[in-house]
Amino acid sequence: MKKTKLLISSLFVASMLAACNTEDTKDNTESQGTGSNNSSGVEENDNDNDQNDMDDADSDSDSDSDSDGDADGDADGDADGDADGDADGDADGDADGIFAEGNFDDQLDLGIGDTGTVETLGGIFEFTVNDVEIMEDVNGELSDLDFFLFVNFTVKNVGEEEVDARDAINILEATDFLEGTGFSDNAEYYEGLDSIEGLLTTGDEVTGDALYNAHDADEYYLRVTEGLVGSGAAKNQIRFTFQKSEIE
């Protein structure tokens, strides 16, 4: 009987010890689990922080890009605006120069011995027709038409800029038909003629010869080339009129 009680007591104690060991193991396992969960949470927080930092960096980069884009856009816009403004201003200035009215009226009733004043984009000139003659040839060379009109001019610079006398005389033409085109001076191509040339400062003048091919007609005209007047390069017209009978 005593042995039986002792055996039962021993089994009870053993079972109690086993139960205690099992509880300790469970606590240790839960503790380890909690520690693992805490570690995972920390890692997740670190990852979130890193992601936030990256997002902030991207945001800053985007802001910088936007700022650079705005600055470049503004700079390009300003540059384009300035260039367009300068180009428009130059174009307007050129247009104003061409189409602006001159200071002299047309002078259409001039004759031999008279003086006409012409304003052009290149300067202001006075032309005086001193003499006109008919020439059948020059040094044995015949005219391409019926004969030559030989004209002695005085050209004076009354503008503010230095001008070439050759450029001045080249704005004139001779014709017998006002509705048609005329003929320009050819004196520079013939030896023995005192062609009009040289630089003229303000107030300077030169006297020389001009030579024009001409048809046989009763009346002749010396005038500013119509195309120059029509384009605005010459601001006014002058016209010298003379009869064939005056110059024979």
**pLDDT for 27-49, tens place per residue?**
444 444 444 344 444 344 444 44
Q: What is the DSSP string of 159-220?
A: SSS-EEHHHHHTTEEEES-TTS--B---GGGSTT--B--SEE-TT-EEEEEEEEEE---SEE
What is the structure's pLDDT at 224?
Answer: 98
Instruction: Report yes or no: 140 and 150 within 8 Å, Cβ to Cβ.
Output: no
The residues that bridge with 219 in the sheet, in sequence order, are: 243
**pLDDT for 65-93, tens place per residue?**
444 545 454 545 455 555 555 555 555 55
* Of the options 3.30.70.1380, 2.60.40.1240, 3.40.50.300, 2.102.10.10, the CATH number for the domain spanning 107-247: 2.60.40.1240
pLDDT interval class at 101 (50, 70, 90) = confident
Task: Please state the pTM of the whole predicted model.
Answer: 0.63
For the chain, the first-to-last Cα distance in angstroms comes to: 182
Q: Compute the chain's Rg from CA coordinates.
A: 53
**pLDDT for 145-170, tens place per residue?**
999 999 999 999 999 999 999 999 99
